[in-house]
């Protein structure tokens, strides 16, 4: 049994190297498919990350009335913290508020340079455990007597959530579509290889080869092709992604990116496994109708 597997592997390698050009073509097709798949996966992961980041920035700002003393403030904080869906509550003094605004305005902080005194009130920053509850929490917070005004980017919140959802769905749809396209391409690649050896398969059957004997080298070849193609794709994506991350970190430091090492390790092994699986399934399917002799 072991011997015959080794033999099938030898045959697979032989059949791949013998039909050099055709194997190259298959390899290229698999690589391109998986490459696109990998790129989409990278984009999706990062869009997801961005969406999460955007979502997590969905915070509620509660401005306090003048003259709320520290004790009343502390009581309020505890009450808010007890609300459902609230992750954390942070006190921001008027001075901290101005400093944060200055930072947020970045190059345009000159707007604030013209101010003669701090116009901002004290406030609380409320971060949410579940961004979808922003409206409900904000309404409850506004009902406290110590709170003068509540801000949470009304309207923006809903839009942001819609965009996030759309991005996730679109990403998933693209990945699925490309998965199907990849399976299709791979199965057809192998089917064409089988087609080229149709005569040989028919002869094998006639001299008494079992289906499994005939299938083995094709399945092995399929797996090999799938894995080599996946490795190529993974390599290219790794290089490209590293370059991109380096570029983004240098030029757009405020854009959140998934770190290459963390993303690439599961992506690489995933691609390899997927390549092998696709090659196996593809070759298995491709052979079905040729075995009926």
Partner 1 sequence: MVRFVNVTKIYPGQTKPSLQGINLEIDRGEFVFIVGPSGAGKSTLTRLIYREELPTSGQVWVGGINVAKLKRSQVPYFRRTLGVVFQDFKLLPDRTVFENVAFALEVTDASRREILRRVPAALELVGMRDKANQRAQELSGGEQQRVAVARAIVRNPSLVIADEPTGNLDPENAWQIMRLLLNINQMGTTVIVATHAREMVDALRKRVVALENGTIVRDEERGVYGYA
Give me the 99-138 binding string for a copy of itself, x by CB under 8 A, dash otherwise. --x----xxx-xx--xxx--xxx-----------------
d(CA 77, CA 150): 14
Give me the 186-205 binding string for partner 1, x by CB under 8 A, dash otherwise. -------------xx-xxxx
Residue of 288, 271, 73, 277 whose CA lies nearest to 198 = 288
Taken in order 267, 271, 277, 282, the sign of the CA dihedral is positive
What 13-19 contacts at long range (C-beta under 8 Å, 24+ apart), as own/partner pairs, is 13/224, 15/193, 15/197, 15/217, 15/218, 15/221, 16/221, 16/224, 16/225, 19/193, 19/196
Binding test (CB under 8 A) with a copy of itself, winner from 9, 13, 22, 175: 22
CA angle, residues 193, 233, 277, in degrees to nearest 5: 55
Binding test (CB under 8 A) with a copy of itself, winner from 95, 195, 200, 262: 195
Task: Please state the closest distance from residue 3 (CB atom) to partner 1, in A.
Answer: 8
161 binds, among partner 1, a copy of itself, none (CB under 5 to 8 A by kind): none
Number of residues located near a copy of itself, criterion CB under 8 A = 41
**Which stretch of DSSP H or E encloses residue 69?**
none
Taking the least distance from each CB to a copy of itself, the nearer of 8 and 222 is: 222
Contact flag: residue 20 with partner 1 (CB under 8 A): no
With H, G, I as helix, E, B as strand and everything else as coil, classify residue 254.
coil
Residue 12 tokens, joined: 């697979």
Q: Which residues bind a copy of itself (CB under 8 A)?
A: 21-22, 25, 28-29, 32-33, 36, 101, 106-108, 110-111, 114-116, 119-121, 149, 151, 153-156, 159, 162-163, 166, 181, 184-185, 188, 191-192, 195-196, 247, 251-252
């Amino acid at each position: 049994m072991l011997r015959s597997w080794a033999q099938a592997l030898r045959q697979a390698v032989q059949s791949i190297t013998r039909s050099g050009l055709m194997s190259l073509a298959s390899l290229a097709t698999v690589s391109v498919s998986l490459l696109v798949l990998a790129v989409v996966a990278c984009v999706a992961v990062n869009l997801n990350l961005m969406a999460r980041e955007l979502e997590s920035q969905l915070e509620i700002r509660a401005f306090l009335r003048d003259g709320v003393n520290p004790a009343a403030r502390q009581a309020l904080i505890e009450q808010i913290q007890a609300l459902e869906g609230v992750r954390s509550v942070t006190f921001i003094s008027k001075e901290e508020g101005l400093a944060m605004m200055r930072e947020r305005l970045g190059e345009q902080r000159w707007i604030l340079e013209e101010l003669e005194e701090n116009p901002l009130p004290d406030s609380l920053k409320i971060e949410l455990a579940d961004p979808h509850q922003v409206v409900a929490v904000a309404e409850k917070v506004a009902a406290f007597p110590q709170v003068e005004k509540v801000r949470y980017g009304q309207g923006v919140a809903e839009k942001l959530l819609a965009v996030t959802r759309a991005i996730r769905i679109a990403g998933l749809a693209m990945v699925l579509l490309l998965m199907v396209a990849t399976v299709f391409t791979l199965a057809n690649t192998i089917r064409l290889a089988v087609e080229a050896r149709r005569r040989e398969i028919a002869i094998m059957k006639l001299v008494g080869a079992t289906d499994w004997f005939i299938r083995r080298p094709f399945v092995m070849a399929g797996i090999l092709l799938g894995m080599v193609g996946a490795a190529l794709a993974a390599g290219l994506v790794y290089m490209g992604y590293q370059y991109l991350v380096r570029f983004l970190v240098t030029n757009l430091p405020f854009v959140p990116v998934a770190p290459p090492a963390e993303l690439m390790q599961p992506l690489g092994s995933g691609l390899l496994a997927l390549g092998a699986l696709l090659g196996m399934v593809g070759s298995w399917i491709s052979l079905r109708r040729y075995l009926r002799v």
